[in-house]
């Protein structure tokens, strides 16, 4: 008979139990996938758990991770995130899951008003590619989307727009704008000039307010509040974020609180970028592990295995 989700989940949880101590490091693979939405091949990285090669019948939960602006899929390894994940596994604080990182260029992972359709590239092209190419569980409860900076924005937006695809979302120093960026008021306003330059690339020239709101995680949260209650939501940001994205993250926290949407928000000491994520790796990855474990247990409990 076909293996049930309950059987797969029990095997997966049993495979993790007692794995702490001397756990081998995960394995990084690099490749390309073809995106119909973009009309070209796109590089990606995938972090395979330590037992992947030796357990050909085993399937794993999946985290889609979105990198930041001026980064690429290799920064996951280059900036020490894989090493941080390996260390947590070695301590037995998290179990095994696959992490897949697509190259996002400077896209903010949206279907731009005048440009590439990166949201579609992730949802319609990359996710199916990964689930066909690698041994994932292939169910909502076994998927999570996460990201840093630009990728934190993208992870929140994609999860909020597609809550039936993911069990949860984790965002770190997400590049959240509380309003459509406007032209800077002076030549000295470098952050204002940078924000407005991004707005021109993403939201039209001149920037389109309606289009911005349709791609603003804060506005999408208000529009889809009921659906978001089925997501596990985690986000954190540094008190010294040099781009002042702590303001947008605070506002998202206040918005979700006002809507009674459960979430975990942390304003933590630190700046912006990969070093901040590495410093927050324990709460970040334990959130991912706990969310996936609990979601799969709940699904298995709701769908008891049938007799052959």
3-state SS class at 266: strand
Q: Stretch 125-142: mean pLDDT, rounded? A: 97
Question: In 3D, which of 262, 254, 265, 251 has the Cα closest to residue 228?
Answer: 262
Question: How many helices (H) and strands (E) would you count in the chain?
Answer: 13, 8
Whether 187 has a pLDDT exceeding 90, the answer reads no
CA dihedral 239, 176, 143, 234 (to 10 degrees): 30
207-266 per-position pLDDT tens digit = 999 999 999 999 999 999 999 999 999 999 999 999 999 999 999 999 999 999 999 999
Strands 264-268 and 232-238: parallel
CA distance 189 to 183: 10
List alpha helices for the chain, DSSP H: 5-16, 75-78, 81-90, 118-120, 127-133, 150-161, 190-203, 209-214, 217-223, 225-228, 245-258, 274-279, 281-302
> Residue for token digits 């699904």?
299
pTM of the model: 0.91
Q: By mean pLDDT, which of 173-187, 211-225, 266-280 is the weakest?
A: 173-187
The residue with greater pLDDT, 170 or 7, is: 170
3-state SS class at 123: helix
Name the CATH code of domain 5-177+216-302 (choices 3.40.47.10, 3.30.390.30, 3.40.50.720, 3.40.50.1820): 3.40.50.1820
Q: Write b or e for each residue in 21-37: b if 16 or more Cβ atoms lie within 10 A of its Cβ, otherwise e.
A: eebeebebeeeebebeb
8 A C-beta contact, residue 242 and residue 272: yes
Q: By mean pLDDT, which of 52-66, 193-207, 275-289 is the weakest?
A: 193-207
Residues in the chain: 308
Q: Which residues contact 40 (CB under 8 A, 6 or more apart)?
A: 34
**Continuous segment of H or E residues that includes residue 44:** strand 40-48
Q: How far is CA 39 from the centre of its chain?
A: 23
> Residue for token digits 């970040």?
284
Q: How confident is the model at residue 17 (pLDDT cuts 50, 70, 90)?
A: very low
Domain boundaries in the chain?
A: 5-177+216-302
pLDDT at position 7 = 53
pLDDT at position 195 = 85
Strand partners, 136: 60
8 A C-beta contact, residue 66 and residue 150: yes
Question: In 3D, which of 98, 97, 129 has the Cα closest to residue 31?
Answer: 129
Percent of the chain at pLDDT exceeding 90 = 77
Whether 146 has a pLDDT exceeding 80, the answer reads yes
């Amino acid at each position: 008979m076909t293996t049930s989700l309950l059987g797969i989940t029990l095997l997966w949880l049993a495979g993790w139990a007692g794995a702490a101590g001397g756990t081998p490091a995960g394995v990084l693979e690099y490749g390309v996938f073809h995106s119909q939405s973009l009309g070209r091949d796109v590089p990606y990285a995938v972090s395979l758990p330590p037992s992947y090669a030796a357990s050909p019948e085993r399937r794993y939960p999946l985290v889609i991770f979105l990198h930041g602006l001026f980064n690429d899929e290799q920064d996951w390894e280059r900036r020490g995130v894989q090493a941080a994940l390996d260390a947590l596994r070695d301590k037995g604080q998290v179990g095994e899951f696959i992490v897949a990182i697509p190259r996002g260029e400077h896209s903010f992972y949206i279907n731009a008003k005048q440009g590439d359709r990166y949201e579609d590239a992730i949802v319609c092209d990359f996710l199916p590619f990964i689930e066909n190419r690698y041994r994932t569980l292939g169910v909502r409860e076994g998927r999570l989307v996460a990201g840093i900076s630009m990728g934190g924005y993208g992870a929140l937006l994609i999860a909020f727009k597609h809550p039936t695809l993911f069990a949860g979302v984790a965002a770190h120093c997400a590049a959240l704008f509380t309003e459509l960026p406007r032209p800077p008021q002076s030549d000295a306003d470098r952050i204002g000039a940078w924000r407005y330059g991004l707005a021109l690339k993403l939201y039209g020239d001149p920037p389109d307010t309606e289009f911005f709101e349709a791609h603003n995680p804060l506005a999408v949260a208000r529009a889809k509040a009921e659906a978001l209650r089925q997501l596990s939501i985690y986000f954190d940001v540094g008190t010294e974020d040099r781009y002042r994205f702590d303001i947008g993250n605070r506002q998202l926290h206040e918005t979700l609180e006002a809507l009674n949407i459960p979430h975990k928000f942390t304003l933590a000491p630190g700046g912006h970028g990969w070093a901040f994520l590495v410093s927050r790796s324990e709460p970040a990855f334990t959130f991912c592990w706990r969310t996936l474990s609990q979601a799969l247990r709940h699904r298995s409990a709701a769908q008891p295995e049938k007799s052959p």
